[in-house]
A and B are shown apart, each in its own frame.
Chain A
């Protein structure tokens, strides 16, 4: 049963995951933490951190990790990763086939105009969800946040930032 739920959940995440990895975080959080209760918020946030430090798309990394944690074996990983890829693969294939027609379609443009603010809202929700007591434990964590925000705004590589934050964590905690 858990395999069926895992498959359906990640199929849903793949299907509604507009806006790329960061927007998908709030979708994953809602599905995995709020609705299914498979992981805690902190567990998911740590998985996101690991996903950012390892190569590959965040959504794929996350699916592989959650699939393993929930079932305790490789098949869960394989199932979740496959499920999250099926909708983008099929939808993007259709788009590639009808690319010329879609490009000039005004309905497509109308839908995109309305989906765009939703995507930004989803990314915003992901950020707000993790601005909690587990993340901000003291003044140092607020300083780390501010420093990383500034550095990332200046387009400093995220892996370097996470590595520095890890070292700072080791030094002060």
Chain B
């Protein structure tokens, strides 16, 4: 019986002198894995135009009905995205979202990406709804913010050239 007590205490003593595994969040943040699915971001092209074309396929794919999209039409005087159409309203209810990533899979222009941010907490329900302004990434260094005024005739396709999913 004495032997068992020593054995147990030995385990305790061993851990007493090992460095702790607890991370002092929020002072210290652990890096997330490559395939971690955190808060969504709406991406831009290098020239600053939005990738989102307002097709609402993300909303259709969403199993939690967390996404709401309303589209409007681009013009060369007020251009948000390269095609004919852009999302004038884009909202994600983070309280509904289950971070499954179906929206990312459905997106034909790879505009919506589940990034690494996971710090999502709210004081009330209304602030759990992330609007387009909150979701869209900053304008790249060499880009211009949207809406842009562009030369007529450059963006004459209905949708930007689509790539195969990578």
Do the two chains bind? no
Residues of B that sit less than 8 Å from A by CB: none
Residues of A that sit less than 8 Å from B by CB: none
